[in-house]
Structure 1
Amino acid sequence: MDRTRLVDELDAEFGGSERTHRAVSRQARDLADSGRLEEDMDLQLTVEAVISNLDDAPDDHSLVERWNWWIGSLELSFGDYQRFRVRPDLEETPE
């Protein structure tokens, strides 16, 4: 997965700070590298897949909330996805 492209797409679609873009893209890369989605859902994690799944989250959610919402859905469905969460307080701490 192209992390630079993902960061650009996250910014364009959901806004947020550079710090949150980096954190979400890092977790997305870790998720892709783990092979969990391919194993559980036969889904290759692409930039488009990340954006599509985050777009399904409630509209009033921030980028980190959207990511954690998706990861929470995966956790409920398959288990063992909590390690890919982004700390919610990341948005509140200065860069």
Structure 2
Amino acid sequence: MRRDQPPRPVAVGDVVAVYSEAVDAWTASQVIGHAFGAAFNMLDSRSCFIETVEREELFDALDHVADEAQTATGRDLTAARAALVEAVNSVRDR
């Protein structure tokens, strides 16, 4: 955009659509992260095999999934990735 030109108007519908997509991605990330963390807590409760190294590997796997999703969609999924990690951490060691 040039400084001597006014910004082009943005349709409210466009803003709402982008916001809605962001909320959907955040919500999906929260659900997936919570389920991921809860499933591993259930497995760990049986034999206590998840220690620091294993947790790091699990987060590496989540990071890989987020990278693949970002590549596949061509979109910045930084917020969704953060929501995913936050959700996993929310059920950690329960």
Fold match by TM threshold 0.5: no
TM-score by length of 2: 0.30
Greater helix proportion: 2
TM-score (norm 1): 0.30
Asked which structure has the greater CA Rg, the reply is 2
